[in-house]
Structure 1
């Protein structure tokens, strides 16, 4: 009988020990290492980079709200791979997050190309409220349903895209036939062609030499990028066409999103909203500064009759909406704004 009581006592102690171990195990899991996510960018980690501006504010805001629980590691300059490859890797969960222009996502969901239509927005500031409203919800749904990723936030490019060339291009007649480098995306090509140019898809890294050797007559891009590429050395005219004002898109894969503890998700989303508000507030200032520096480097800027160019590209809107009917609400929201 004594042996039986000892055995029961030992068994009880064993259960108590197991319970203590379970509690300690739960505590250990609760104090697990911080979640670390990787974010890809094609642009340099530069204070005047649209991507870096957003990330830098996001990471600092997230740290203030969630401490070290969630860390976002930034990989600029295509360190994780080219954008064309990264979009698929975010979808599969190989790369956690990506910040880029919206255009590249059109390779996985052509409907996203609605944001690349010419003269869709009069300015980047006009794009913000639309993307924060019903049009943004439609686009977010396309990202979720067609691609399987979530849009964290919509940020700004640092200004609309202009035509920078060796000759003025501020009217359809002057632009006609000029070989203009464009992003290799369908609606970019179609927009510049409708405006009268001879669009030439090309890697951005090849532009300076192509301008220097006369392979192209110009490029279309925002002023800070033209300044960073030093294109002002070989192209002295910027026609302020502002033909495309497409946003920057911050996207996270579903697998990555599931790694963030539920208690820190509100902080993650609040930090993203703060980063977008901050980045947007700096866009106009950085664009104006870049234009001033370009002028000081001998560039002449030309005002443009944008209405004349817009009339040439409007048929592309109707054609796109017929091809992708799910984008009609986006276009309707923009035209009503």
Structure 2
């Protein structure tokens, strides 16, 4: 294998025999993901990628985009990549970490100072390391990775002024091991539930609230049933764009190159478009009656510090951690 770099994306390519012109034409791939169609990662990344693939291939490659969990949740889509029933998906890196726990390093709390820090780390080896680990662990490859937004906590009936106020609170999380451990370390009771069920779970008091970033929570209408936003800033969400090994290995080199270039350009587009989205959705949440609290995060960081040290040591994550620290 070799790594082909394109902008902020690096694509792992396996050399395969070039298909005949007839075989190279009229290829249709299915891309499934969990976020709603109106979400920026769909509008400004997935759909841009789809359009670029069509443009660059003169219509010979078509990617059908299925947002909002139409083809399944994040875990189901990754399993579909392994089976070859799904060609492509994008998912939170925390869910991909089910295949290699060390990847949860990117989900560790309070490890990225800001977006610039995240991009520096990606450019200085973090993306390469993630791709190599996924290639070894699963039956799919990471085409690229984008940092989306910092995650906070939204509760239905309780505000949080101090760390102690989180004790025993039931918080919906995705099936992401490090996010689950983070909320345990903070004293809460994390409850993994698919994102499509989060609204009803809060409405029926199965959980007290959820964690996530502003746009996603707003888009799935959770502020209708929860109004207390706590700026815990506990994690930076990374999405990874994936392709099944079964699909990748049946593509010609020309098709692989087209997909590689489209992914790189879509990522660059998203970085520019994403710059102001978080602030825009803060104002939209306020317009929905959501109140914001900003507790002192020093006790939060202190509470998770032992977890971070143990995680890096126990999961062979020293390489990933070193890149993050060296680019801080």
- Sort the TM-score into its range (normalised by shorter chain): 0.7 to 0.9
Per-residue deviation at 1:322?
2.0
Match of 2:112 in 1: 121
- For 1:67 and 1:51, the matched residues in 2 are separated by 22
RMSD: 2.1
Residue aligned with 2:72, SS: coil
Match of 2:213 among 204, 222, 235: 222
Q: Any idea what the Cα deviations from partners look like across 1:229-255, whole Å, max 9, x if unmatched?
A: 322233221111110113000011222
> How far does the alpha carbon of each residue in 1:170-229 deviate from its partner, in whole angstroms, 9 at most, with x for none?
421222232222223321111012122222223333333333343332211111122123
Aligned to 1:205: 196
More helix by share: 1
Q: Greater shift after overlay, 270-279 or 65-74?
A: 65-74
Alignment partners' CA distance in 2, 1:255 and 1:59: 20
Equivalent positions of 1:95-244 (< 5 A) are: 95-157=86-148, 159-165=149-155, 166-244=157-235
Decide whether aligned partners of structure 1 residues 204 and 79 sit closer, same or farther in structure 2, where only a CA change above 3 A counts.
closer
Deviations 1:49-100 (A, max 9, x none): 4234211111222233221232211122322233222212212322111111
In structure 1, the residue matched to 2:28 is 36
Query: Deviations along 1:274-330, whole A, 9 cap, x unmatched?
Result: 1111112222422211110110111111223333311211211221122211x2111
Distance in 2 separating the partners of 1:178 and 1:200 = 10
What SS does structure 1 have at the residue aligned with 2:207? coil
State the alpha-carbon separation in 1 of the partners of residues 326 and 298 from structure 2.
18
Q: TM-score with structure 2 length normalisation?
A: 0.86
4+ aligned runs moved over 6 Å, structure 1: none
Provide the residue aligned with 1:256 in structure 2.
Answer: 247
What is the distance in 2 between the residues matched to 1:210 and 1:253? 32
Residue correspondences, number:
307
Deviation readout 1:95-127 (Å, 9 max, x if unpaired):
111111112222222222222211122334432
CA distance in 2, matches of 1:280, 1:41: 19
User: Which one has a bigger Cα radius of gyration?
Assistant: 1
Structure 2 residue corresponding to 1:328, chosen from 318, 324, 327: 318
The 5-angstrom pairing of residues 37-56 of structure 1 reads: 37-46=29-38, 48-56=39-47
Task: For 1:147 and 1:231, locate their aligned partners in 2 and report how far apart those are by CA, in whole Å.
Answer: 33
Structure 2 CA distance for aligned equivalents of residues 233 and 42 of structure 1: 20
CA distance in 2, matches of 1:75, 1:215: 29
Does the residue aligned with 2:97 lie in a helix, a strand or coil?
helix
Give the structure with the larger strand fraction. 2
Q: Structure 2, unaligned stretches of length 5 or more?
A: 1-18
Give secondary structure in 1 for the equivalent of 2:312: helix
Q: Counterparts of 1:262 and 1:104 in 2: how far apart (Å)?
A: 29
1:264 Cα shift?
3.8
Note closer, same or farther for the CA distance 1:213–1:69 as it changes in structure 2 (3 Å cut).
closer
